[in-house]
Amino acid sequence: MGLLSRNKSEKKSSINWNKLETISELEMAIEKSFEIPVLLFKHSIRCSISSMALYRTESGWDLPQEKVMPFYLDLISHRDVSNSIAEKLNVFHASPQIILVKNGKAVLDASHNEIRVELIKEALD
């Protein structure tokens, strides 16, 4: 199959995303942050900037599963979860947005072009 005939469904992410679709899953993710840092990626499927931030994150990802647990939120489909993130973690809503959670608290909050794997690594150290 040629490069141009490849469709999006064949793309494989280097990140083993955990889907975040309910408020109870968000609460479980926050609880999990007491054992391992949790990364929340809020993505708007309608936004080209969000798609670029997701692509940069996935293409630059080289963090082991033991270091951080990544969660993906389609905030268009699950706006209630996005609103709950802002409330529970005391962060302003943005899209795209990454939030790194340790011990139940947001320790990193970045959006748009600030979203970089290097920034996540710095916050993990």
pLDDT score of 4? 40
pLDDT score of 11? 52
CA dihedral 74, 32, 35, 60 (to 10 degrees): -10
What are the structural domain ranges in the chain? Answer: 25-124
pLDDT of 123 above 90: yes
Dist. CA 37–CA 54, nearest whole Å: 19
Q: pTM of the entire structure?
A: 0.88
Q: How crowded is residue 106: how many other Cβ atoms within 10 Å of its Cβ?
A: 18
Q: Which of 92, 98, 90, 88 is nearest to 28 (CA)?
A: 88
Phi, psi at 40, each rounded to 5°: -105, 125
**pLDDT class of 125 with cuts at 50, 70, 90:** confident
Between helix 79-89 and helix 23-32 the angle, nearest 10°, is 40
Dist. CA 86–CA 111, nearest whole Å: 13
pLDDT in tens, 52-91: 999 999 999 999 999 999 999 999 999 999 999 999 999 9
pLDDT of 96 above 60: yes
Domain 25-124 CATH superfamily: Glutaredoxin (3.40.30.10)
23 membership: H or E segment, kind and range: helix 23-32
Q: Would you say 34 and 104 are in contact if contact means Cβ atoms under 8 Å apart?
A: yes
pLDDT score of 13? 72
pLDDT of 7 above 80: no
